[in-house]
Structure 1
Amino acid sequence: MKNKHIALYISGGIAVYKAAMLARLFIKKGAKVRVAMTKAAQEFVTPLTFKGLTHHEVYTDLFSKHGSPVPHIELADWSDLAVVVPATADILAKMAQGIAADFVSTALLATEVPKYVVPAMNNKMWANPATRRNVAQLKTDGVNVLEPATGFLAEGYDGKGRMPEPEEILTWIEGTQASNFAKDLAGKKILLSAGGTIEPIDPVRYLANRSSGKMGYALAEVAQSRGAKVTLVSGPTALKAPKGVEVINVKTAREMEAEMLAHYATADFVIMAAAVADYRLAQVYEQKVKKVGETWQLNLVRNPDILKHLGELKQQQLLVGFAAETTELVKHATEKLRQKNVDLLVANDVSRKDIGFGTNDNAALLLTRDKAPQETGKMTKQQLANLIYDRLLELAKERE
């Protein structure tokens, strides 16, 4: 963000006050910020607030000069990135259709730098088919759109449409910038595992875990967007295969191990994000087992420890492991870092309900052998994926 020119476009909604806090965060990061406001936005917060924060006059009128004969073009040309927050249904529609009706929409139409849009509105407006079409069109046009949060709305009830907190928006923009601009993984071969493995009991039953595969798939998507060649070995999930990624579908731990070993030798970065079943049945029943009695004892045997095996075979690869813990996170993660011979361990507390299994967010502790652990705080899984690759690139550079 340092020395970046950020144009902050503010449309009318109750969340305008959060835009002031976001402007302050940008400035603290070293960015230079200028603000344009719609007439409706000025009903919630006056331009004087943003003038005081940015030390610049606020753009409010298409025909005011601001020292330039064409101020909306001046602002568009000055910008390194444009942030629309809060983005109402009205400004989304104008942007999607190319309507230039006031200073904000006209300047945005003239803007050629990356755009970041943060919608905030009533949940019914967000769910309206017209809004959904407009958002889809913006994404097709290359605009970055942050999904609104679910929470307490101005109308007095919960729903999806609440503007995310300024800190979350800043993290999203920083993470998306890395994804959009950096092809720093070009030439790298990345081997990933994702999802949970399943172990059959009989033809209709199996042992499984709660992994959704979202973290592993986020890692695959981010790696591909940053220029890497990605092979994803995936256990069963309900997720769509990421575009441009080679996906190899498996079910059991032993199948996953075979595919990871088959592609291991040529990989640069190897990430075991899958939740691999620790045990399998000693013998799988060939026919469905009928219910008999009140209890049923299953004889289980250990599955291969794929991560440990990869650590033993490691040569040029940088190896990443995941540790899902419910207690003593630092202690267990530090032990796993050493025992599995990994270069980077990503540990998270899966006892929390707001992160981890099945959610879109995560919070992790990143551990390496010679640096203090890095605590990420709560963020999207795509943002965490970017941090993981940033750390891997640092480790690769240290090896040179």
Structure 2
Amino acid sequence: MLTGKHVTVFVTGGIAVYKAADLVRKFIKAGAIVRVAMTESATKFVQPLTFQILSRHEVYTDTFDEKDPNNVSHIHLADWTELAVVVPATSNILAKMAHGIADNMVSTTLMATTAPRLIVPAMNQNMLENLATQANLETLRSFGYTIMEPDTGFLAEGYEGKGRMPEPDKIAEAAHQLLIKTSSDLPLKGKNVLVSAGGTIERIDPVRYITNDSSGKMGYRLAEAARDLGAMVTLVSASKLEHPFGVTVKEVQSAREMQAELMASFDEANIVIMAAAVSDYRPVNQADRKMKKTDTDIQINLEENPDILATMGQLKNKQFLIGFAAETNDVEKYALDKLKRKQADMIVANDVSKADAGFNKDTNEVIIIQPNHKPIHIDTDTKEAIAKEILQIAINNLKL
């Protein structure tokens, strides 16, 4: 979402200014084009040169420093901005924004821009809790601005309290979500996407289980791609990967747990993506204590797990159903057979025996099988890129 976006970071005079430098770097790394405006107070903490080097753009500090006779600098910057991030937002700038005071480069530009605003308050706890500050924050919320909640921790004054600026990663995520929220042209806006990910676990006893090599990376990239296309995403995960922001995650272990969570969200889903590697079998009996080694061989009896994809294929009405097929040979043949047996709308098949595809890899190579369509071969690429292609094909089929 941040790729190619014009982001202006408005820096005001708080001790957390040093974190704003890292935030600028993170925005640029995410693909944004970043410009920085600073109050005079902010320049007392960090020199404008720091932000100039990071952003590769001149830093705006003076309303009357008009270098281009064809443009009024604060209006030009205001019009250029597609996302305004005020960080750290001191009590001073909050008061000015709430009451329409425009007396420096930062406050004047913020008054003129129509871009979405992400405001990141950071100050002493007593200043934050002051009735005037709280009233100003409520006023800004009533304007439709997005206000991040300050963190609690060790403050500059030497004691614990609320008022710390959130870490740059967290702010970048909030900016990402704000752009999704305020974009009106995303193809999955208002749609529900249900994704499963990871390899399920079937317990033998409290310390042993049956599973597979799936990491969940493909499912997580699909969930993130659907989120960035505007969807409301539910991810049912048997993976230990870090939860993606802006996605509802439901953690499970076994196939039956996964089925229960998926079916709870199935009716509302527009697109269902079964990227999880679900165990085909489970032990008939699960020991409640660790099984001790004996001098004889043991036998573990297995029974079949529910076929979640086939069940969904029988129940679907509005849902576009996508399944995955992890194969080691005859990939297209088995994928086509799975498409028919499971009554899916698409099967994404890959050869997991390849070095750069399949389980635990950051890249993949897939074949997309659909009814009455020629197979689509997607060469080796990142799982992020492949997830976007899979969703675009689904969108084209749904004519969204």
What is the DSSP-based 3-state SS (H/G/I as helix, E as strand, rest coil) of the residue aligned with 1:233? strand
What is the DSSP-based 3-state SS (H/G/I as helix, E as strand, rest coil) of the residue aligned with 2:349? strand
Runs of 4+ displaced beyond 3 Å: 92-95, 97-100, 110-114, 139-143
* Residue pair 1:232, 1:246 contacting (<8 A) in 2 also: yes
1:282 positional shift: 0.5
Equivalent-residue separation in structure 1 for 2:244 and 2:316 (angstroms): 27
Does 2:230 match 1:192?
no
1:295 positional shift: 3.1
Equivalent-residue separation in structure 2 for 1:300 and 1:232 (angstroms): 28
1:393 positional shift: 1.0
What is the DSSP-based 3-state SS (H/G/I as helix, E as strand, rest coil) of the residue aligned with 1:277? coil
* Residue pair 1:329, 1:348 contacting (<8 A) in 2 also: yes
Does 2:167 match 1:209?
no
Equivalent-residue separation in structure 1 for 2:276 and 2:385 (angstroms): 18
Amino acid at match of 2:316: K
* 1:234-313 paired onto structure 2 within 5 Å: 234-235=237-238, 237-293=239-295, 295-313=297-315
Q: 2:99 maps to what in 1?
A: none
- Of the three residues 372, 380, 383, the one matched with 2:385 is 383
1:325 positional shift: 0.2
* Residue pair 1:326, 1:351 contacting (<8 A) in 2 also: yes
Equivalent-residue separation in structure 1 for 2:53 and 2:394 (angstroms): 38
Amino acid at match of 2:194: L
Computed over aligned residues only, the root mean square deviation of the Cα atoms, in angstroms, reads 3.4
Does 2:336 match 1:329?
no
Cα distance change, pair 93–319 in 1 and its aligned pair in 2 (3 A)? same
Count residues with an aligned counterpart.
250
* Residue pair 2:199, 2:278 contacting (<8 A) in 1 also: yes
1:240 positional shift: 1.1
Equivalent-residue separation in structure 2 for 1:379 and 1:136 (angstroms): 26
Q: 1:317 maps to what in 2?
A: 319
1:287 positional shift: 1.3
Cα distance change, pair 360–94 in 1 and its aligned pair in 2 (3 A)? farther
What is the DSSP-based 3-state SS (H/G/I as helix, E as strand, rest coil) of the residue aligned with 1:353? coil
Cα distance change, pair 365–95 in 1 and its aligned pair in 2 (3 A)? farther
* Residue pair 1:233, 1:259 contacting (<8 A) in 2 also: yes
Q: Which runs of 5+ in 1 are unaligned?
A: 6-80, 83-91, 101-109, 115-134, 144-179
Q: 2:348 maps to what in 1?
A: 346
Cα distance change, pair 353–296 in 1 and its aligned pair in 2 (3 A)? farther
After TM superposition, the score normalised by the length of structure 2 is 0.56
Amino acid at match of 2:277: A
After TM superposition, the score normalised by the length of structure 1 is 0.56
What is the DSSP-based 3-state SS (H/G/I as helix, E as strand, rest coil) of the residue aligned with 1:372? coil
Q: 1:42 maps to what in 2?
A: none
1:93 positional shift: 9.2
1:339 positional shift: 0.5
Q: 2:398 maps to what in 1?
A: 396
Q: 1:360 maps to what in 2?
A: 362
1:232 positional shift: 0.8
Q: Deviations over 1:69-109 (max 9, x none)?
A: xxxxxxxxxxxx99xxxxxxxxx996525466xxxxxxxxx
* Residue pair 1:182, 1:226 contacting (<8 A) in 2 also: no
Amino acid at match of 1:359: K
* Residue pair 2:173, 2:245 contacting (<8 A) in 1 also: no
Q: 2:54 maps to what in 1?
A: 96
Q: 2:230 maps to what in 1?
A: 227
Amino acid at match of 2:54: A
What is the DSSP-based 3-state SS (H/G/I as helix, E as strand, rest coil) of the residue aligned with 1:364? strand
